[in-house]
């Protein structure tokens, strides 16, 4: 039967629709999977491995042995604070002890001079050698090649360390970084029992193996041990990576939905074409079940066949595009996984069965009398339960692919709501057009009549066009907002140097110094060191908290700053920012996540030990802070007039170009206590990743647009039979090609404009929802989206419709009349 239908041309449209659908899903699936894994590899650099286990205790050998048994690459690091001695000066340093193989992902960048070019290396310091941050040389007045003491050992300063992939976000740590080889550790005698050391096991391997291993390890962690993820390793990339993943997921999701709409549209046409043959089979004695079995079997074969072709096409498309993008996106994309193929097949079968089933069930109910009389009513099967089942299966498939229930829920819900709204609006518009049809000229009359004489298929077309355009508008809006948001988070002139340890009496001089270098508006922020002692007049200790971060916070000092105004990338989420009358009052503004970690609420009273005195502050507001930027921000801020008499350090961040950087050595000489931190290399890394993610997003967007066009094509094809027949009748009665073309033009222009208008409104609402609840950026309502919708809708639908129906105009009328319409 499959072959017979195929030979008869009945299945072509359905198969083509399905192939387009499966191909677009698998291509996007393959590509997002590869890009995602590529990004994962790329971002794995940020923790220097695919998986890191950290611990405060040295008992980590079992993890090392276990990881080696699993054929993973393994290395270790140990980090602690210690003091370096040189030129009779002492300097606190953050020491990192590394073993052969470090880093497993990414590279170290080193140089021989403070401000010269750096180079990438896969080596680690040789035995007896230290690599140090440039500011250590400033602080100890040393040069490369000179000696320094650490613990019981003496080391040669081998290289200046410019970049380490897994340097965590604590750029303000007072102590500069020192890297040494683990071979030298025992001789230094630095690690005794009770020393505060952070032990890390770095592991890398195949993604799936790592994921499996992560799950196993997660349940075996002992107190004080934890698994570190990429997001924790580099918080400033957090948002970009998360939203990139979500956007790629969204794009894949939307291709699936578009494909579903395409298949549903063509399945409808397929069933209409089969009304006669089903009636005929009933006449020849086929039972309802025989008919349903025949068509179900046919659909399964078709689904398998089309899914195979579609998957192959998807794979080939993806290979071709990867080839093009190889140079641009990621130098080496990991090989495609078969997840996309399984997804392609599953989607193909679910979609075809789901969307073709309701019309098939209708075929079962075709009365044999239909052979004789076409006007015999056919009882339609209620399709709601089946569509609901399809929606559920699709949601599960999508959840399996993108693992983000909120996004899946929002998009599925949004799509269903959009479909309902589009269908209702389309119904009303078609009704309104019907009123108009007796009041316009011949060509427009035919155009309008074309729409209103087939209300059912016109509504389906408007909904399909509308959904296609909605998706294109939505993705382009979200995409450009997302890219703008990322670019805004790291503009070209974002601060690339931090200046810390500035004393109160140096503030004016430093500001003037930068002014003389051509850097204006340097804003310095005060910091007063304080230790948290009391909450609501009760003593607090780290043992009061279960949470590791809370424990840590209670052992370290806070940097209390004061400010008149709320900083730009801060938002008050509870309480209110102080006014002038509140200055000098002991109020406190807390970063909201910190407050949550410490269980602090609005109006709690917090006691800090500042330079030996306990001061009490009332929490007057909670702020959310955008940590993705490289701007200076504080967890704790008080109003002006409270801490000015306490010993304060000042800090600032500035953007310096290449010429200005050359003058930095003078700054260090003039203000010897001031420390400079260069974050240019880190920012460059972050920028690179964001650029690549942006490219991936642009590409996936393009592909989804193609899927959208497939839907438009399917929608145009959906009533081609009726259109062909009608045009044949019109031509028989003397309609010229011009009249027919004008009629088609009028019809598609109207359909396009109506769909575009509805799509513009739908896209605006959905974009707001996504911005608000998923991507978390400020959405600006833009009336031009609706206008763009109307224009693109009219242009795309009019041209696609016209191209798609050209054959209608060239078929001899006698042929169309003979074929008739079912």
Partner 1 sequence: MTNTVSNVFVEARQLGKQVTTRDGVLTLLDDINFSIEAGTSVAILGASGSGKTTLLGLLAGLDTPSFGAVILDNNNLNDFDEDGRALLRAERVGFVFQNFQLLFGLTALENVMLPLELAQAAHPRKTAEELLIRVGLGERFHHYPNQLSGGEQQRCAIARAFSTNPRCLFADEPTGNLDSETGKRIIELLFELNSEHGTTLIMATHDAELSTLCKQRLVLDAGRLVEDGAS
Minimum distance from CB of 16 to partner 1 (Å)? 22
Residue 508 sits in the site that holds partner 1 (CB under 8 A): no
Q: Please identify, using beta-carbon distances, which residue of 225 and 726 lies nearer to partner 1.
A: 726
**Residue 578 burial class via C-beta count within 10 angstroms: exposed 0-12, middle 13-18, buried 19 and up:** buried
Tell me which of 147, 374, 552, 806 binds partner 1, using CB under 8 A: 374
The torsion angles phi and psi of 572, rounded to 5 degrees, stand at -75, 125
Residue 119 burial (CB count, 10 A): 13
Q: How far apart are CA 130 and CA 138, in angstroms?
A: 16
Minimum distance from CB of 737 to partner 1 (Å)? 5
Residue 445 sits in the site that holds partner 1 (CB under 8 A): yes
Residue 453 sits in the site that holds partner 1 (CB under 8 A): yes
Q: Which of the stretches 80-88, 139-147, 445-453, 699-707 binds partner 1 when contact is defined by CB under 8 A? A: 445-453
Minimum distance from CB of 373 to partner 1 (Å)? 8
Residue 814 sits in the site that holds partner 1 (CB under 8 A): yes
Q: Please identify, using beta-carbon distances, which residue of 434 and 624 lies nearer to partner 1.
A: 434
Tell me which of 523, 536, 662, 815 binds partner 1, using CB under 8 A: 815
Tell me which of 117, 323, 375, 493 binds partner 1, using CB under 8 A: 375
Q: Please identify, using beta-carbon distances, which residue of 276 and 624 lies nearer to partner 1.
A: 276
* DSSP codes of every residue in 420-485: HHHHHHHHHHHHHHHHHTTSS-HHHHHHHHHHHHSHHHHHHHHHHHHHHHHHHHHHHHHHHHHHHH
Q: Give 311's contacts (C-beta < 8 A, 6+ positions apart).
A: 22, 23, 26, 340, 341, 344, 345
Minimum distance from CB of 352 to partner 1 (Å)? 28
Q: How far apart are CA 364 and CA 552, in angstroms?
A: 69
Q: Please identify, using beta-carbon distances, which residue of 438 and 659 lies nearer to partner 1.
A: 438
Q: Which of residues 576-595 bind partner 1 (CB under 8 A)?
A: none
What is the per-residue binding string for partner 1 in 145-184, x denoting contact by CB under 8 A?
----------------------------------------
Q: Please identify, using beta-carbon distances, which residue of 50 and 726 lies nearer to partner 1.
A: 726
Q: How far apart are CA 503 and CA 506, in angstroms?
A: 5
Instruction: Determine the Cα angle at 316 with ends 36 and 393, to 5°.
Output: 60
Place of tokens 């340890």: 501
Q: Which of the stretches 49-57, 268-276, 442-450, 528-536 binds partner 1 when contact is defined by CB under 8 A? A: 442-450
The torsion angles phi and psi of 486, rounded to 5 degrees, stand at -65, -45
Residue 647 sits in the site that holds partner 1 (CB under 8 A): no
Q: Please identify, using beta-carbon distances, which residue of 703 and 725 lies nearer to partner 1.
A: 725
Minimum distance from CB of 9 to partner 1 (Å)? 14
Minimum distance from CB of 437 to partner 1 (Å)? 9
Minimum distance from CB of 277 to partner 1 (Å)? 18
Q: Please identify, using beta-carbon distances, which residue of 221 and 729 lies nearer to partner 1.
A: 729
Extract the runs of DSSP E, i.e. beta strands, from 729-818. none
What is the per-residue binding string for partner 1 in 341-360, x denoting contact by CB under 8 A?
--------------------
Q: Please identify, using beta-carbon distances, which residue of 375 and 645 lies nearer to partner 1.
A: 375
Minimum distance from CB of 821 to partner 1 (Å)? 8
Q: Please identify, using beta-carbon distances, which residue of 334 and 813 lies nearer to partner 1.
A: 813
Q: How far apart are CA 27 and CA 453, in angstroms?
A: 39
Strands 198-204 and 525-535: unpaired
Q: Please identify, using beta-carbon distances, which residue of 288 and 739 lies nearer to partner 1.
A: 739
Q: How far apart are CA 535 and CA 542, in angstroms?
A: 13
Taking alpha carbons only, the member of 173, 159, 246, 166 closest to residue 685 is: 166
Q: How far apart are CA 500 and CA 477, in angstroms?
A: 40
**Cβ proximity of 172 and 116 under 8 Å:** no
Q: Which of residues 282-311 bind partner 1 (CB under 8 A)?
A: none
Q: How far apart are CA 423 and CA 445, in angstroms?
A: 23
Minimum distance from CB of 814 to partner 1 (Å)? 4
Residue 616 sits in the site that holds partner 1 (CB under 8 A): no
Minimum distance from CB of 734 to partner 1 (Å)? 2
SS3 (DSSP) at 598: coil
**Cβ proximity of 386 and 357 under 8 Å:** yes
Minimum distance from CB of 812 to partner 1 (Å)? 5
**Cβ proximity of 739 and 443 under 8 Å:** yes
Strand partners, 574: 622
Tell me which of 452, 559, 675, 749 binds partner 1, using CB under 8 A: 452
Q: Please identify, using beta-carbon distances, which residue of 497 and 723 lies nearer to partner 1.
A: 723
Q: Please identify, using beta-carbon distances, which residue of 56 and 812 lies nearer to partner 1.
A: 812
Q: Please identify, using beta-carbon distances, which residue of 442 and 541 lies nearer to partner 1.
A: 442
Minimum distance from CB of 8 to partner 1 (Å)? 14
Minimum distance from CB of 446 to partner 1 (Å)? 8
Structure tokens given for 649: 């350090």
The torsion angles phi and psi of 612, rounded to 5 degrees, stand at 95, -10
Residue 8 sits in the site that holds partner 1 (CB under 8 A): no
HSE, side-chain direction, 13 A CA sphere, residue 289: 0
Q: How far apart are CA 668 and CA 161, in angstroms?
A: 18
Taking alpha carbons only, the member of 296, 303, 343 closest to residue 17 is: 303
Strand partners, 503: 649
Q: Which of the stretches 318-326, 441-449, 537-545, 665-673 binds partner 1 when contact is defined by CB under 8 A? A: 441-449
Measured in whole angstroms, the distance separating CA 548 from the mean position of its chain's CA atoms is 28
Minimum distance from CB of 726 to partner 1 (Å)? 6
Minimum distance from CB of 760 to partner 1 (Å)? 28
Taking alpha carbons only, the member of 517, 524, 482 closest to residue 503 is: 524
Q: Which of residues 716-775 bind partner 1 (CB under 8 A)?
A: 722, 725-726, 729-739
Total residues interacting with partner 1, rule: CB under 8 A = 31
Q: Please identify, using beta-carbon distances, which residue of 7 and 215 lies nearer to partner 1.
A: 7
Q: Please identify, using beta-carbon distances, which residue of 491 and 820 lies nearer to partner 1.
A: 820
Residue 432 sits in the site that holds partner 1 (CB under 8 A): no
Minimum distance from CB of 452 to partner 1 (Å)? 7
Minimum distance from CB of 801 to partner 1 (Å)? 18
**Long-range residue pairs from 546-552, CB within 8 A, at least 24 positions apart, any chain:** 547/597, 548/224, 548/226, 549/597, 550/597, 550/598
Q: Please identify, using beta-carbon distances, which residue of 277 and 652 lies nearer to partner 1.
A: 277
* DSSP codes of every residue in 64-108: HHHHHHTT-EEEEEEEEEEEEEETTEEEEEEEEEE-TT--SSS-E
Residue 442 sits in the site that holds partner 1 (CB under 8 A): yes
What is the per-residue binding string for partner 1 in 775-804, x denoting contact by CB under 8 A?
------------------------------
Q: Please identify, using beta-carbon distances, which residue of 580 and 818 lies nearer to partner 1.
A: 818
Q: Which of residues 454-473 bind partner 1 (CB under 8 A)?
A: 454
The torsion angles phi and psi of 424, rounded to 5 degrees, stand at -65, -45
SS3 (DSSP) at 223: coil
Q: How far apart are CA 765 and CA 492, in angstroms?
A: 32
Strands 525-535 and 558-562: antiparallel
Q: Which residues bind partner 1 (CB under 8 A)?
A: 374-375, 442, 445, 449-450, 452-454, 722, 725-726, 729-739, 812-815, 817-818, 820-821
């Amino acid at each position: 039967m499959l072959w017979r239908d195929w030979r008869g041309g009945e299945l072509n449209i359905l198969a083509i629709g399905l192939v387009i659908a499966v191909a677009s899903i698998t291509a996007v699936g393959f590509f997002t999977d590869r890009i995602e894994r590529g990004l994962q590899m790329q971002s794995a650099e940020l923790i220097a491995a695919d998986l890191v286990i950290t611990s405060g205790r040295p008992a980590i050998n079992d993890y090392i042995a276990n990881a080696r048994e699993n054929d993973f690459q393994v290395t270790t690091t140990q980090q602690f604070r210690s003091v370096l001695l040189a030129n009779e000066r002492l300097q606190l340093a953050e020491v990192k002890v590394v073993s052969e193989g470090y880093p497993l992902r990414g590279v170290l960048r080193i140089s021989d001079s403070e401000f010269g070019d750096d180079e990438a290396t896969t080596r680690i310091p040789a035995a007896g050698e230290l690599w140090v941050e440039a500011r250590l040389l400033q602080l100890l007045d040393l040069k490369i090649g000179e000696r320094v003491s650490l613990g019981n050992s003496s080391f040669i300063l081998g290289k200046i360390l410019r970049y380490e992939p897994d340097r965590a976000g604590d750029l303000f740590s007072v102590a500069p970084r020192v890297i040494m080889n683990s071979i030298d550790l025992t001789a230094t005698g630095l690690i005794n029992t009770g020393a505060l050391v952070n032990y890390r096991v770095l592991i890398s391997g195949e993604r799936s193996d790592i994921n499996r291993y992560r799950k196993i390890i997660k349940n075996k962690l002992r107190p004080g041990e934890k698994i570190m993820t990429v997001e924790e390793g580099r918080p400033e990339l957090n948002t970009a990576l998360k939203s990139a993943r979500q956007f790629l997921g969204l794009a894949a999701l939307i291709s699936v939905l578009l494909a579903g709409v395409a298949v549903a549209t063509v399945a409808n046409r397929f069933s209409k074409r089969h009304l006669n043959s089903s009636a005929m089979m009933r006449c020849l004695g086929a039972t309802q079940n025989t008919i349903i079995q025949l068509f179900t079997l046919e659909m399964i074969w078709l689904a398998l066949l089309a899914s195979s072709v579609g998957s192959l096409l998807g794979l080939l498309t993806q290979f071709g595009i990867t080839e093009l993008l190889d140079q641009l996106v990621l130098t080496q994309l990991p090989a495609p996984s078969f997840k996309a193929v399984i997804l392609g097949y599953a989607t193909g079968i679910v979609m075809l069965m789901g969307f073709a089933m309701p019309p098939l069930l209708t075929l079962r109910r075709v009365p044999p009398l239909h052979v004789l009389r076409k006007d015999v009513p056919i009882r339609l099967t209620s399709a709601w339960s089946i569509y609901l089942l399809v929606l559920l299966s699709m949601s599960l498939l999508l959840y399996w692919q993108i693992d983000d229930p909120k996004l899946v829920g929002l998009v599925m819900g949004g799509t269903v709501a959009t479909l309902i709204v589009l269908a209702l609006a389309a119904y009303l518009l078609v009704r309104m057009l019907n009123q108009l049809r007796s009041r316009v000229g011949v060509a427009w009359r035919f155009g309008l009549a074309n729409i209103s004489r087939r209300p059912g298929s016109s509504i389906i077309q408007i909904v399909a066009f509308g959904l296609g355009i909605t998706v294109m508008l939505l993705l382009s809006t979200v995409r450009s907002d997302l890219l703008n948001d990322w670019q805004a988070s790291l503009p070209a002139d974002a601060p690339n140097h931090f200046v810390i340890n500035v004393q109160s009496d140096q503030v004016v001089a430093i500001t003037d110094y930068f002014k003389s270098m051509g850097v204006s508006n340097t804003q310095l922020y005060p910091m007063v060191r304080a230790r948290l002692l009391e909450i609501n007049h009760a003593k607090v200790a780290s043992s009061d908290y279960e949470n590791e971060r809370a424990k840590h916070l209670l052992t370290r000092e806070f940097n209390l700053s004061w400010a008149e105004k709320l900083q730009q990338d801060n938002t008050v989420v509870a309480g209110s920012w102080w006014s002038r009358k509140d200055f000098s009052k002991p109020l406190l503004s807390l970063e909201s996540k910190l407050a949550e970690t410490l269980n602090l609420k609005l109006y709690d009273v917090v006691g800090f030990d500042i330079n030996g005195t306990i001061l009490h502050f009332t929490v007057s507001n909670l702020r959310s802070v955008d940590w993705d930027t490289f701007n200076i921000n504080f967890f704790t801020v008080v109003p002006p007039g409270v801490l000015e008499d306490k010993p304060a350090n000042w800090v600032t961040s500035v953007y310096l170009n290449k010429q200005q950087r050359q003058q930095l050595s003078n700054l260090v000489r003039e203000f010897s206590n001031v420390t400079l931190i260069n974050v240019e290399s880190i920012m460059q890394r972050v920028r690179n990743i964001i650029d690549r993610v942006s490219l991936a997003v642009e590409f996936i967007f393009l592909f989804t647009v193609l899927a959208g066009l497939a839907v438009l094509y399917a929608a145009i094809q959906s009533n081609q039979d009726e259109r062909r027949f009608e045009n044949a009748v019109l031509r028989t009665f003397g309609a010229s090609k011009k009249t027919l073309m004008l009629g088609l033009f009028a019809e598609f222009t109207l359909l396009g404009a109506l769909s575009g208008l509805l799509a513009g409104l739908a896209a605006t609402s959905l974009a707001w929802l996504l911005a608000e609840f998923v991507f978390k950026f400020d959405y600006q309502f833009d009336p031009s989206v609706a206008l763009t919708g109307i224009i693109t809708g009219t242009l795309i639908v009019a041209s696609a419709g016209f191209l798609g129906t050209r054959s209608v105009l060239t078929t001899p009328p006698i042929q169309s009349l003979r074929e008739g319409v079912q």
